Amino acid sequence: MTRMTPLGPDEPASHPYRLAARRSTAGDSAIDVGGRRIGGGDFALIAGPCAIETRDETIAIARVVRDAGATMLRGGAYKPRTSPYAFQGLGQAGLQILADARSETGLPVVTEVMDVRDVEAVAAVADMIQIGARNMQNYALLTEVGRARVPVLIKRGLSSTIDELLMAAEYVLKEGNAGVVLCERGIRTFETAYRFTLDLAAVAVLKTLTHLPVIVDPSHAAGRRDLVEPLALAAAAVGADGIIVEVHPDPDAAVCDGPQALRCDDFARFAARVQHVAAAAGERFAATAPA
């Protein structure tokens, strides 16, 4: 976990993100998530469905991504949906499915929490708690996950600046939770040819500003399957500490985000290509698949 060192003599105590700032620790922080490291030279490949749909399907996806070298399983039990009538996730039942998928595959799990009232239940199951883009400035939620003893993945808000992302991290760090991972997932611009504009410059800039690991979500940025691989490779090349992608056995039947989901059948090839570029960027790709 992150080692916090005191501020240097030239460091104003009023620095708005003094714990997240690069100069507040000696080097890059590596975060331990259920036995897998993210950061400090360890590249995370996090994959899974957008939403947890059924137990059998989730375990099948987990096996596919584990066998291809993924280091963690993702999947939403609580889903932030633009329409209140859209599928909202399986909730507690989804958390139980994630726990089962972990026992079946050995993969640590990351899942989103949207409500302070669910933090305890999510933290009891998750190896890493996700704060979604729409909640990046939900300060009560950030404070609550800061009190949890589980690492936190903070996704950049749809229209948030790099400074605001670092300030969100600071809310979690300030509560004593040193396990913070940042995620660039695309921002709103004038462009409409894809879902969001993946800001890869932000990754390079964040690496100069903070010691925290920075990962990239090409799936939500692209919104289109055909763009996920080129953006993932670019993320690995620009120095990201990992990527998080959506995978589904039958994207046309997915309850959520099907058009951007990689097909299970294509995942091993995708993972091998990401591994290749991550290695070229000097990253270890911790493919620790237990027998």
Which positions touch ligand PEP (CB under 6 A)? 50, 76, 80, 132-134, 155, 185, 217, 220
106 binds, among ligand PEP, Mn ion, none (CB under 5 to 8 A by kind): none
Instruction: Decide whether 99 or 255 has the Cβ nearer to ligand PEP.
Output: 255
Place of tokens 């199951």: 125
Instruction: Decide whether 50 or 278 has the Cβ nearer to Mn ion.
Output: 50
Instruction: Decide whether 86 or 279 has the Cβ nearer to Mn ion.
Output: 86
Report the number of secondary-structure helices (H) and strands (E) in the chain: 9, 12
CB 63 → ligand PEP: shortest distance, Å?
Answer: 21
CB 135 → ligand PEP: shortest distance, Å?
Answer: 8
CB 185 → ligand PEP: shortest distance, Å?
Answer: 4
CB 287 → Mn ion: shortest distance, Å?
Answer: 24
Q: What x-and-dash track marks residues 40-79 binding Mn ion by CB under 5 A?
A: ----------x-----------------------------
Q: Does 112 bind Mn ion (CB under 5 A)?
A: no
Pairing of strands 36-38, 31-33: antiparallel
133 binds, among ligand PEP, Mn ion, none (CB under 5 to 8 A by kind): ligand PEP
155 binds, among ligand PEP, Mn ion, none (CB under 5 to 8 A by kind): ligand PEP
Contacts of 234 (CB under 8 A, 6+ apart): 198, 200
Q: Residue 262 half-sphere exposure, CB side, CA atoms within 13 Å? A: 27
Q: Does 257 bind Mn ion (CB under 5 A)?
A: yes
Nearest to 214 by CA among 230, 231, 226, 202: 202
CB 137 → ligand PEP: shortest distance, Å?
Answer: 12
The residue at minimum Cβ distance from ligand PEP is 132
Q: Does 170 bind Mn ion (CB under 5 A)?
A: no
Place of tokens 């899942």: 111
Cβ atoms of 123 and 141 within 8 Å: the answer is: no
CA distances from 247 to 11, 28, 66, 100, 144 (A): 44, 29, 12, 18, 30
SS percent in the chain: helix, strand, coil, step 5? 40, 20, 40
d(CA 38, CA 34): 11
263 binds, among ligand PEP, Mn ion, none (CB under 5 to 8 A by kind): none
Nearest to 111 by CA among 141, 86, 132: 132
Using CB under 5 A as the criterion, which residues of the chain lie in contact with Mn ion when the complex forms? 50, 257
